[in-house]
Amino acid sequence: MNTRQFILSPKEAYEAAQKWRVVKRSVDARQRELKVHLTVLADDEGKPIPIHNSQFTINNSPDGDRFPLYTPPVYKDVHEAERKAIIIGCGPAGLFAALTLLEHGIKPIIYERGKEVSERKKDIALLNRNEGLNPESNYCFGEGGAGTFSDGKLFSRSKKRGNMQRVMEIFHYFGAPDTVLYEAHAHIGSDKLPGIIKRMRECIIEHGGEIHFETCVTSLKEVESRKTATLKDKSQFQTPIILAIGHSAHDTYQMLAAEGVAMETKGFAMGVRIEHPQELINRLMYHLGKPHLTSPQGRSTPLEGEMEGVIKYIGNASYSLVTQVDGRGVYSFCMCPGGHIVPAGSAEGMCVVNGMSASHRNSPYANSGMVVQINPEDIAGNDPLKGLEFQEALERLAYEQSAISHQPSAAPAQRMKDFVEGRASKDLPKCSYLPGIVPSRLDQWLPAGIGKRLQQGFRDFDKKYPGFLTNDAVIVGVESRSSSPVRIIRDPETLQSINTPGLYPCGEGAGYAGGITSSALDGINAALKIVQQ
């Protein structure tokens, strides 16, 4: 495939993408002048291929598109398949594992504690209206896992763990927009994800796989004995089990510990969500509207036209910030331009927040997690689940802080500058968090290892982007589930648990992935190991 690269202005890149077939696009906002790096398909003489000669279709017919985008997956009928595999958890890891098994003629049998996506939506609506949390059906549990109502940023293109591009292609095959095939920072959006997940489920069932919703697995031995064994291998389990439970099922980790599955504590991160007005983030990141940053002609006000133009062509700005404070990383995580903060807890009496945005990313708010790295040695004790306890303790503390103000379903919050300078916020700015926020002294009750580092981290970020540290921004507690504090130890070759053969821990909950794409890829890899048996 011939390609040609261009460095263009946002407007030129936007127009080029209407004419030519793009294979890679990334925005470079490091300099004052914004640039878009565009790679397009080209013919043998280097001329860009017009889009009408090569539509965005997946086509592997020899008479079809001269430049097929990718080879579509072919799923086999497994209604009568002899080989079966059990999958616990229907998040990205479980779903992509199931689809991979289907490609190889193995019947996937999925157990998912939560509800199917349309029912789950109703529980999420209740949660956002402060009408109660369903501990089995929420932002973490249910069809599609934490990935369904996530932001849907599909980030990592690292080739280290396998073919990330294939994950994008499978998302595209089930209805994700063309941009997931070429954007450096692809994004689907929480309004589009449920439809994609539903189509994946329909495909699995249509081809003979099984999905059992509202079925929480409370014992590995029990779940396995319910199915006819078909594999005569040396496994403890006669039917292989892919364990794709995500990182929020604390009861399931307890069950695994009780059944003797080898686990260890791993490093993770916790902190807060921060929300700025999106307009301010656009100005800072796109270098718009500050006298010393805008133009030699001395334009000093936000350039309305310029701002609108840029947003039209490259969308609302995001950021990725990182610094080191006292030997630990402090960084932004899961930044959601034009998004919302959401209640992401899965148990009563705990307050957990996260962020998402719809496909258009057009809310007036910009939020991101701001977290501090926590190493196993930062927490006392030897229990492999000690990180979970630490997480829960902070989530309970956050809940109690809002309960003090008689608003237990609201989240505790503080204006950013007040937090850094150690004063109470008399009032709070408008915030996208639907259940509501209440003023609280996060500067006082966050553990010093987190709170003090965040304060310094925010000062550091302000040096890089003057204006970032502002009382127009609000911090909301707590962002505690950015990564798993536990690793379910597996053999790097076979991907099976080191002491429970036949069990394939994978995805974010097993501690080998973080985020949608890497979890999906880890699920694919686990399934491929079963295929090779």
Ligand X SMILES: Cc1cc2nc3c(=O)[nH]c(=O)nc-3n(C[C@H](O)[C@H](O)[C@H](O)COP(=O)(O)OP(=O)(O)OC[C@H]3O[C@@H](n4cnc5c(N)ncnc54)[C@H](O)[C@@H]3O)c2cc1C
> What are the residues binding ligand X (CB under 6 A)?
88-94, 111-114, 139-142, 145-147, 149-153, 155, 216-217, 244-246, 249, 252, 334, 342, 344, 354, 356, 507-509, 514-517, 519
- Nearest approach, Cβ of 227 to ligand X (angstroms)? 15
37 contact partners, CB below 8 Å, separation of at least 6: 5, 6, 7, 24, 25, 26, 27, 28
In 1-78, DSSP assigns E strands to 2-8, 22-28, 35-42
- Nearest approach, Cβ of 457 to ligand X (angstroms)? 21
- Nearest approach, Cβ of 222 to ligand X (angstroms)? 11
Q: Which residue has the tokens 């202005």?
A: 9
- Nearest approach, Cβ of 525 to ligand X (angstroms)? 12
Closer CB to ligand X, 139 or 390, in the complex: 139
- Nearest approach, Cβ of 357 to ligand X (angstroms)? 8
Closer CB to ligand X, 91 or 451, in the complex: 91
- Nearest approach, Cβ of 248 to ligand X (angstroms)? 6
Closer CB to ligand X, 44 or 222, in the complex: 222
Question: Residue 377 has which token pair?
Answer: 């040695």
- Nearest approach, Cβ of 46 to ligand X (angstroms)? 36
Closer CB to ligand X, 10 or 246, in the complex: 246
114 contact partners, CB below 8 Å, separation of at least 6: 90, 120, 136, 137, 138, 141, 142, 143, 213, 214
Closer CB to ligand X, 142 or 338, in the complex: 142
Strand, helix or coil at 145?
Answer: helix
Phi-psi region at 422: left, alpha or beta (left = phi > 0; alpha = psi -120 to 50): left
Closer CB to ligand X, 89 or 451, in the complex: 89
Closer CB to ligand X, 310 or 513, in the complex: 513
In 223-267, DSSP assigns E strands to 241-243, 263-265
Quick one: which of 356, 351, 367, 320 has its CA closest to 475?
Answer: 367
- Nearest approach, Cβ of 526 to ligand X (angstroms)? 11
Q: Which residue has the tokens 């089990």?
A: 241
Distance of alpha carbon 367 from alpha carbon 357, whole angstroms: 9
Closer CB to ligand X, 289 or 509, in the complex: 509
Beta pairing, strands 84-88 & 107-111 = parallel
Closer CB to ligand X, 249 or 420, in the complex: 249
Closer CB to ligand X, 245 or 371, in the complex: 245
Q: Which amino acid is at 177?
A: P
Distance of alpha carbon 102 from alpha carbon 207, whole angstroms: 8
Runs of H (alpha helix) within 405-500: 416-421, 442-445, 448-464
What's the 3-state SS for 349-416?
A: CCCCEEEECCCCCCCCEEEEEEEEEECHHHCCCCCCCHHHHHHHHHHHHHHHHHHHCCCCCCEEEEEH
Give the rounded distance of the alpha carbon of 92 from its chain centre: 10
Distance of alpha carbon 215 from alpha carbon 231, whole angstroms: 24
- Nearest approach, Cβ of 440 to ligand X (angstroms)? 21
- Nearest approach, Cβ of 418 to ligand X (angstroms)? 26
Closer CB to ligand X, 187 or 283, in the complex: 187
- Nearest approach, Cβ of 521 to ligand X (angstroms)? 11
Quick one: which of 508, 506, 504 has its CA closest to 532?
Answer: 504
Q: What are the distances in angstroms from CA 341 to CA 304, 355, 356, 450? A: 27, 4, 7, 20
